[in-house]
Homo-oligomer: A and B are copies of this chain.
Amino acid sequence: MDNFHFYSPTYFVFGKDGENQTGSMVKRFGGSKVLIHYGGGSVVRSGLLDRVKASLTAEGISFIELGGVKPNPRSGLVYEGIDLCRKENVDFILAVGGGSTIDSSKAIAAGTIYDGDFWDFYSGKRIEKALPVGTILTIAAAGSEGSPDSVITKEEGMFKRGASGDAIRPKFSILNPALTQTLPPYQSAAGITDIMAHLYERYLTNSTEVEVTDRLIEALLLTMKHEGPRVIENPDNYEARANIMWAGMMAHNNSCGVGRSQDWNSHNIEHELSALYDCAHGAGLAVTMPAVFKYVMNHNVMRFAQVAVRVWGCSMDFEHPEVTALEGINAFASFLKSIGMPSNFAELGAKEEDIPQLVETLCCGDGRDGNIYGFVKLNKEDCTNIYKMMIKKNHIY
């Protein structure tokens, strides 16, 4: 196990009607003038925004609003939010929505009190200071409610990049599983896929002697395997939603990823797809992961065999561990298909002729050196091969 620091100071309010505690939570963390940041009309139509405002008003907290966050959130709205917060002397950013809204809120929180261009943080500069952020989560997926991370897409060049720093960890996050019961199955499935991707990205490690984090990751994967189909079958299932919601947070606050190198190449490869085609991030991951895993499997067959046995219930083939490893990848791919996720380029709206452009942006865009780094270092040829694997119609390898 590697040396590490771990710090997850977010205060979590979990359960039914949690949004009614918004005002007291903002007060606890010192907010007096709040920007409520959100996406489309669903948080308005559902009445959630009204309940949030009522809770703030009851505590004597004033607020302004900025809606319009889109999936794969853009830098344009971040600049707008920064201007607004400076003009209105906002001292607290409240995200009401999913990962995109939270990530956009984190960017505004860091950018408002930074002299330079906020994109500096998305080009490698660590975030040291930010306005406090609170979240009210409406989809279990990104894990941004408990993480120090944010991903934003820059319109010029369509670069989708991440930033990080303890300063943008939410001060509080309100997790009410009931708020996710109205999500359509496709979005639920994309969220499930994203959570499982956060687990696999940590599972694919070059560190050794990491039994405790291996077991924790497997525990969360087993939870998703069990609860995911229950939610797809019955979107109203509060209990399954609740299990997924806590698993989604635990998958990404990094308590199961400490002390080990991590991968994140599936995320990198996917980011180009959702940036270019504006597909759901989870849907892109569903197509990307099986291809990546198959491509890098031989780097550590036993690791893939382990997850195959412990999570997917495969019998270990002690004579041919690679058979078990592949069986586990196929079991995962079949699982993703069974919950309604796409399994190839065409279903994503992606095109074979775009592959050179995807690879160029992925490996060389925004200062990259021609490779992406993770479990295995991948160069342009590797990435081309991986995108090509995603074209095939049959998801089973």
Q: Is the CB of A5 within 8 A of B1?
A: no
A377 CB → nearest B CB, Å = 25
Given known A3-B16, A5-B11, contact A255–B259 (CB-CB < 8 A):
no
Q: Is the CB of A1 within 8 A of B216?
A: no
A13 CB → nearest B CB, Å = 6
Q: Is the CB of A12 within 8 A of B6?
A: yes
Which residues does chain B contribute within 8 Å of A277, judged by CB atoms? none
Beyond A1-B177, A212-B219, 14 additional pairs, beta carbon < 8 A: A1-B239, A4-B14, A7-B11, A7-B12, A9-B11, A14-B258, A212-B244, A212-B247, A216-B216, A216-B219, A242-B259, A246-B258, A246-B259, A255-B255
Q: Is the CB of A215 within 8 A of B220?
A: yes
Give 20 CB contacts A-B under 8 Å. A3-B15, A3-B18, A5-B11, A5-B12, A5-B13, A5-B14, A7-B12, A8-B9, A9-B9, A9-B11, A14-B259, A209-B240, A211-B223, A213-B246, A215-B223, A216-B216, A219-B219, A242-B259, A246-B259, A250-B255
Q: Is the CB of A4 within 8 A of B15?
A: yes
Which residues does chain B contribute within 8 Å of A9, judged by CB atoms? 7-9, 11
* Residues of chain A having any CB pair with chain B under 8 Å: 1-16, 18, 177, 208-213, 215-216, 218-220, 222-223, 226-227, 239-240, 242-244, 246-247, 250, 255, 258-259
- State the copy count for this chain: 2
Which residues does chain B contribute within 8 Å of A210, judged by CB atoms? 243
A329 CB → nearest B CB, Å = 22
Q: Is the CB of B216 within 8 A of A212?
A: no
Which residues does chain B contribute within 8 Å of A223, judged by CB atoms? 211-212, 215
Closest to A215 in B: B219
- In Å, the complex CA distance between A333 and B322 comes to 37
- In Å, the complex CA distance between A222 and B240 comes to 24
Closest to A241 in B: B1
A148 CB → nearest B CB, Å = 13
Given known A216-B250, A218-B219, A219-B218, contact A209–B5 (CB-CB < 8 A):
no
- In Å, the complex CA distance between A244 and B209 comes to 11
